[in-house]
Amino acid sequence: MNTDGDPTGAQSTADVDGARFLRDFAALSLIGRSAGGGVDREAATVADHESRAWWSGWLEANGFDVRIDQIGNVFGLHCFVPGAPYVLLGSHLDSQPLAGRFDGAYGVLAAGHAARAVADRVAMDEIVPTVNVAVVDWFNEEGSRFSPSMMGSSVATGKLALADALTITDAAGITVAEALTPDATFESPLEVGNYAEIHIEQGRILEDSGATIGLVDGTWAASKYVVRVHGDQAHTGATIMADRHDALYGAALTVVAARELTNRVAAGKLHTAVSTMRVLPNSPVTIARFAEFNLDLRSADEAVLEEANRLLEEEFARIETTARVTIERTLTHEWGLRSYTPAGVALATSAAEAAGLPASRILTVAGHDSTNMKDVVPTVMLFIPSIEGISHNEKEDSTDADSVAGMTMLAEVASRLVQGELWHGERYVLPTTVV
């Protein structure tokens, strides 16, 4: 295409970068492609290994030094100032089963392109770096095959011990260490000064508001449980109803109660979910003695979350009586409303203005690798719009224009970060890069 405003007839740098980005993203999206047009790349499966290999090849072809740490995070390093720490940009290439192309992978590739753009600007003396730039594919952000989620960034930020992570098993009993066979290649520890990440929103707030960029200033509060219902085995036919202690009935009442909690608080204020179910003995003629499932409560309002937890306790007591079961609940994760550093939001706001991109502040409901990284270094988190808010689904999508705009925005943020705008001397050493 010719750009009217350019008398030479050459394409603008931005257009060329955008076309290259979309071409690379289309290639990456072929790895683990699912029949429904999404991807299926659970952590350390063949498809995930292929996407990690593709990423290593892309990094090498684009002038990065490739390094892998002990939990399988794949880094690309670009050193401008020897001895200075790195601005790290990244996200994750793994996916949920039958998921969309954008969730994670978009942010990894945008990080690669943004870092390359920063390196070009440094090479052309457009900017003067005070720190270096690196990019990363965090291992197993999704947590569907190996729980917990955000595994790579949790180990890298010291929230999960490496040895514990490597021995976690999938449903088939395969450990992370066996599935990953990590081959750590760092020669010296990686010191990080700042982190930035861009991700598809997974909701419809940006689409509804017309903004192209979401400036994430905080996370929803959440309470996450594992619930175990204990009943007693019985015959599905012969045992009279009054004699039953049916664990699956108790589980079903809990799933329904969790869902209906959302109707008992102000509309839209509470999100709840149960999405897994394990039943024993899972026989067509034996009443379940045991059922186990996850149960999440999330809200942007801590008072609503507290009320939901209180109502849930009442429901548990009611269900124990109704189904004649006992319910054991373990609170596995709990956090309040957490902020991203306001200085990072200010930097991103300024960057969006400079890039001419309409942006608005937003909270993230979902967890991201940045929610780990923000606890160790000043961090910037950005969103691009999701079409209809569809997420964890093959139909997840965003427009080409928004995809390119996000990459441009991340390059603008990264340019500011390598010039030290958000760096005040922090040096976080990733423990996974220290042998």
The residue among 34 and 349 lying less far from its own copies, judged by its C-beta, is: 34
Q: Decide if 116 contacts 37 (C-beta within 8 A).
A: no
Label the pairing between strands 86-91 and 191-200.
parallel
Closest to 45 measured CA to CA, from 224, 133, 170, 219? 170
**CA-wise closest residue to 65 among 195, 152, 190:** 190
Smallest distance, Å, CB 266 to its own copies?
A: 12
Shortest CB 58 distance to its own copies, Å: 27
Q: Residue 213 corresponds to which amino acid?
A: I
Looking at the Cβ atoms of 114 and 270, the one nearer to its own copies is 270
Q: What count of other Cβ atoms lies within 10 Å of the Cβ of residue 96?
A: 23
Nearer of residues 86 and 220 to its own copies, judged by Cβ: 220
Minimum distance from CB of 208 to its own copies (Å)? 11
